[in-house]
């Protein structure tokens, strides 16, 4: 599996609530020293686990549409849209620009810009929310 396929699989399996939340699956894709910056907010590995757990609690369904994905060595850049249906029935559409860095066959870092295209104003921080 190349790095682009690995990132795409991680996005689909970890973010999509159709897959059960699993700390073991997060650990399969993400290094224990993982750091993610989303719109200036820093998440460490434990924060990221909380973030994924929250997404699975809030979101009923998610569709990730890859617009473009480029691989250069251990760096993968993704431009994708996230279309989500929340358990409360509301919908949201988010545009994401993310640069992933891999080390030893795991994701160690992500620098991300997330923009809420449509949805409730309270969801503007859902890309980094942990509580």
Region of residue 40 (phi > 0: left; psi between -120 and 50: alpha; otherwise: beta):
left
Residue 44, CB-side half-sphere exposure with 13 Å CA sphere? 3
pLDDT at position 39: 93
Beta strands 30-38 and 106-118 are: parallel
Is 52 within 8 Å of 74 (Cβ atoms)?
no
Rg value, the chain, Cα: 14
Quote the distance between the C-alpha of residue 63 and its chain's center.
12
Q: Which two tokens stand for residue 109?
A: 């870092």
Q: Which two tokens stand for residue 67?
A: 């617009």
- What are the pLDDT tens digits along the chain (131 aa)? 899 999 999 999 998 877 777 899 999 999 999 999 999 999 999 999 999 998 888 899 999 999 999 999 999 999 999 999 999 999 999 999 999 999 999 999 999 999 999 988 777 666 656 67
pLDDT at position 125: 65
Q: What is the pTM of this model?
A: 0.91
């Amino acid at each position: 599996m190349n790095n682009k396929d690995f990132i795409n699989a991680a996005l689909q399996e970890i973010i999509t609530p159709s897959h059960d939340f699993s700390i073991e699956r997060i650990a399969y894709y993400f290094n224990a020293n993982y750091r993610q910056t989303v719109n200036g907010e820093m998440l460490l590995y434990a924060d990221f686990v909380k973030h994924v757990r929250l997404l699975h609690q809030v979101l009923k369904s998610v569709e990730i549409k890859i617009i473009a994905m480029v691989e250069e060595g251990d760096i993968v850049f993704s431009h994708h849209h996230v279309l989500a249906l929340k358990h409360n029935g509301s919908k949201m559409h988010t545009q994401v620009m993310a640069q992933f860095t891999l080390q030893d066959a795991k994701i160690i870092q992500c620098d991300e810009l997330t923009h809420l295209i449509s949805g409730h104003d309270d969801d503007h921080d859902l890309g980094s929310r942990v509580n």
